[in-house]
Copies of this chain bind each other. A is one copy, B any other.
Amino acid sequence: MNVRLRSKPARPQKTARRSREPEIRLDATLSFMRALWALDHGLRQRSRRMHIDLGLTGPQRLVVRIIGQFPGSSAGSVAVILNLHPSTLTEILKDLEKRGFIKRRADSRDRRRAVLDLTPAGRRVDRLHAGTVEASVRKALRTLPKHKIRTTEEVLGILALQLSREK
């Protein structure tokens, strides 16, 4: 290996293990980029796992949580909250409905609108904690001082805004 990593070279055919503190030196921006994509990757990995264990993915559960906090939301407003394309949300809602976590009905005053509510099963998922992406995040954050969490959330917001703004 030309790039020598600190950790043991091999693990069976499993996902490459995160080696905290790689011995390699990347320039500052590249290192930050790697951290960003690592987070992205971790989120999806955990989300995938949750799908296997609990029957829904991270984004799906996030939709459940939002509907839990704002029952009667329209599909469009949930899409805006999560910065999702309406058609993406359609897919997710279709799935959630099929699995019996949400109910869709037409708004009585504007029948184009889909009004969303949780089913009892959906409410159980909303209250769920063990095994969720959220639980992992909470666990990681517990060890950190509040100001670091605030700073991170602020910086994440700025990054996300910049990324989605550029065309």
Contacts and interface: CB of A to CB of B under 8 A. Distances in A.
Contacts of A78: 3
Contacts of A85: 15-16
DSSP majority for the A interface?
Answer: helix
Contacts of A154: 148
B2 A77 contact: yes
Q: Report copies per complex.
A: 2
Contacts of A141: 32, 159
What's the interface size class on A, roughly? 35 or more
A138 B29 contact: yes
Nearest to A7: B80
A65 interface: yes
B58 A37 contact: yes
**When A and B form their complex, which 4 residue pairs have the shortest distance between CB atoms, in order from nearest?**
A42-B163, A140-B162, A42-B160, A38-B160
